[in-house]
Structure 1
């Protein structure tokens, strides 16, 4: 039993890490790291600002694990593309609002850094929402209108 686990582990590891080399995997990893850096900057401010970074970092990690382990194909009752699209769209809007509020308040260097990084996160989440939009990913093929043999 130990031999079968040992032999299947490298294949599983390769399958799991191959997702991190895709465009979506790189975006999700970047979102996780950026949320962590923003969380560190926001930690000097009021806790209300840091909760956005915590929630988005957790959600990005969940989606990264779901896509990495191919769970999205095993749980079909959740519409993963729409869920991911709304996650990224809402994150972009909330980061934009939070960043504007933080930058308007003016303050120490940590506040300014957090506001600028929040604007960068807005762009990143907005781009992720753009490439994740489900209608953009579907390809439309024309349906045949008449049978090949002619009218019946």
Structure 2
């Protein structure tokens, strides 16, 4: 597929739907939607913890576009697997901390819902970090053990 076809409206939509059906695409879309729900709950409760949801929603959308347009193979300056891993790890830790703080504060119902959703988001981002861990994906083939497979 040529670049002009990929970035035209039908080509872009096809690339979006193709990546959106992959496990990583579904995970990133779920992160974006969950961050949006948490953001709405925090805004409804007039809480000051909504900035994490905004930042993580934007970062998940950026990584979705990068993977969808296959920019991770074109832009070699940034190590995308490690960047994606640290994004997920930091989000999981921060959502866990903020959710515990929000649930301990005991605010109104929307704040409690945001705290529970934050715990779910912490698990989702943690799972994302787990499956994108770069060293986990770089497993090497086992060394040959049969003498016939070795050097002659």
- Secondary structure of the structure 1 residue equivalent to 2:107: coil
4+ runs of 1 displaced by more than 6 Å?
none
1:1-152 matches, within 5 Å, as: 9-43=9-43, 44-47=45-48, 49-142=49-142, 148-149=151-152
Distance 2:12 2:106 in 1: 49
Distance 1:45 1:100 in 2: 17
- Secondary structure of the structure 2 residue equivalent to 1:139: coil
- Secondary structure of the structure 1 residue equivalent to 2:31: helix
Q: Which runs of 5+ in 1 are unaligned?
A: none
**What's the CA shift for 1:121?**
0.2
Contact 2:47 2:111 in 1 (8 A): no
- Aligned CA RMSD, in angstroms, stands at 2.0
Residues 12, 50 of structure 1: CA spacing in aligned structure 2 closer, same or farther, 3 A cutoff?
A: closer
Report the TM-score when normalising by structure 2: 0.86
Contact 2:99 2:119 in 1 (8 A): yes
- Secondary structure of the structure 2 residue equivalent to 1:72: helix
**What's the CA shift for 1:12?**
4.2
**What's the CA shift for 1:11?**
4.0
Distance 1:141 1:68 in 2: 29
- Secondary structure of the structure 1 residue equivalent to 2:50: helix
How many residues of Structure 1 are paired with residues of Structure 2 in the alignment?
A: 143
**What's the CA shift for 1:137?**
1.1
**What's the CA shift for 1:9?**
4.7
